Amino acid sequence: MSIEQQVTEWRQHIHKHPEFGFEEVKTAAMVADKLESFGIEVHRNIGKTGVVGILKCGNSDRSIGLRADMDALHIKEQNAFGHASVNEGVMHACGHDGHTAMLLGAAHELAQKRNFDGTVYFIFQPGEEHGVGAKAMIEDGLFTRWKIDAVYAMHNLPGIPEGHFMTRSGSIMASESSFEINVYATGGHAALPHMGTDPIVVGAQIVTALQTIVSRNLSAIHETAVLSVTEFATNGTVNVIPSSVTIKGDTRCFTDESLNKIEKAIERIVAGQCQSAGVDYSYHFNNSFLSTINTAAETEHAVNAARKVVGEERVNGQCEPFTISEDFSFMLRQVPGCYVLVGNGDDEKGGTALHNPLYDFNDNILMKGVNYWQALVETQLS
């Protein structure tokens, strides 16, 4: 069986048997067993269900880390093909099955050919979708137990022509943060508002004022950001002024400096509005994902490797940043590296959006990914 046939078989098997974050027991076992069969040193249960494979060749102390994510989503698949999910309500709707299969294929080829000088770390990460897997592997010693000079990752992207690569130096993906604001008042009878304090009026003022953060606190040229209020809930009813209001929302930006400004500005607005109205509040801000920031030298390595595989005209090394988020960002805070996107296709086969119940990874790009990883290792560890 050719390597292309094997990688396709692996990909479709993983798609058929998806597992949610930190539940990737069978997927991780399959990955570890395959790596061991290639003659690669394997470390299991790194960051709960993560796997690290280590392949050394030659005498150099240089190293490179290649990362693939393994987890699926809680989505009920609507596809009817033979490799559709058999696990009810769980689906590989983001292509992590393809990412895992491509890195397995690259591990097989690199172990067979050994045309490099140094050490390759194959990092199979759990729990990416909720921003917990990369942190778990880091906390379990990913970058302290092993010397990894630089780390790279790849993700498919529907709507981009099949096998085309995109990346950029600097921020390629935004941070994702959520906030929760609780306003506490006395409430009261709807006919007698003067006898209490009304959190709805205060909450409405907060929602309006939050819209000034991006337009009045951040640079219109250098600090792109989005802030959205997504929930507004009370404990009131038709003739009862509530005693509390809960406001929740989401914010995205591309630098840590912008993120810090947004977090402080939200609390400043909430504190001011609540003090003015004589009510109390609580405020919680949570960073699910940091912005994904590629380093310049590693981006150049990634672009050159992609050009060797698909040609210069199919590689965009200066793409626009995306407001979606990725927990590979936490790994890029530890060591230099680069995150690239590969086109899943812009037709009916590959153009279905990520996180859609009809999505499927395009098997036609599997070998593009395998060859990209191999080229990256062989050029950087030449």
CB-based contacts of 282: which residues, under 8 Å, 6+ apart? 181, 182, 184
Catalytic choice (71, 77, 129, 326): 71
Q: Is 280 a catalytic residue?
A: no
Q: Do residues 247 and 206 lie in contact, with contact meaning Cβ atoms separated by under 8 Å?
A: yes
Q: How many angstroms separate the CA atoms of 169 and 317, rounded?
A: 8
SS3 content of the chain, % helix, strand, coil (to 5): 35, 25, 35
Half-sphere exposure of 237 (CA within 13 A, CB side): 0
Q: Quote the DSSP letter at residue 355.
A: T
Q: Could you tell me how many residues make up the chain?
A: 382
* Beta strands 337-345 and 151-158, pairing class: parallel
Q: Do residues 363 and 171 lie in contact, with contact meaning Cβ atoms separated by under 8 Å?
A: no
Element (H, E) at 10: helix 3-16
Q: Is 128 a catalytic residue?
A: yes
Q: How far from chain centre, in Å, is Cα 311?
A: 27
Q: Quote the DSSP letter at residue 322.
A: B
Catalytic choice (69, 77, 109, 128): 128
Half-sphere exposure of 120 (CA within 13 A, CB side): 32
Cα 61–Cα 66–Cα 70 angle in degrees, nearest 5: 145
What are phi and psi for residue 253, nearest 5 degrees? -160, 180
Active-site residue list:
71, 128
